[in-house]
Amino acid sequence: MDNTTDKKCRKEYKKKYRELNKEKITEYNKKRYHENKEINKEKIAEYNERYKEKKAEYQKIKAECDNCKSVVCRHLLKRHKESKKCMDYNKEKIIIDKKEKVECDNCKSVVLCVGLEQHKKTKKCMNYWLTCLLEDYRDQKTI
């Protein structure tokens, strides 16, 4: 008997064995399945319990939003940043920044904060500065 026929024979034998013991095998498999199911159930429950604890711990961690300074749960931070509240805060802040006015340290004109740099390059501001210098110069001369 060569190898292939041997294999074939064994295959045939297995097939026959399975046919003859069909019920036994099904029974055995069923039993094993149920046993495993019980074990798996326990394992899954244990795993879920641990997962829940970890999740609860993780969810307790708070973080500050760098946009609006709200304190939110860290796992919700990403969602928070996409929220209307946070986005509106940013928009409002930009509007306020744009509306904010400052006094020019050269000419004491009150200008928009965002326009200050540009204002300092205007003739009005530069002339004022020059006039002041001239006045100072003149004052010093008279003294």
For Zn ion, the binding residues (CB under 5 A) are: 65, 67-68, 70, 86, 104, 106-107, 109, 125
CB of 127 to Zn ion, least distance (A): 10
Cβ proximity to Zn ion, 67 vs 112, nearer residue:
67
Nearest to 77 by CA among 58, 59, 63, 61: 63
CB of 109 to Zn ion, least distance (A): 5
Cα distance between residue 143 and residue 132, in whole Å: 16
CB 109 within 8 A of CB 122: no
Cα distance between residue 77 and residue 143, in whole Å: 66
CB of 80 to Zn ion, least distance (A): 5
Cβ proximity to Zn ion, 102 vs 109, nearer residue:
109
Which ranges of the chain does DSSP label H, i.e. alpha helix?
3-20, 22-60, 77-81, 84-99, 116-120, 123-142
CB of 115 to Zn ion, least distance (A): 10
Cβ proximity to Zn ion, 2 vs 66, nearer residue:
66
Cβ proximity to Zn ion, 9 vs 110, nearer residue:
110
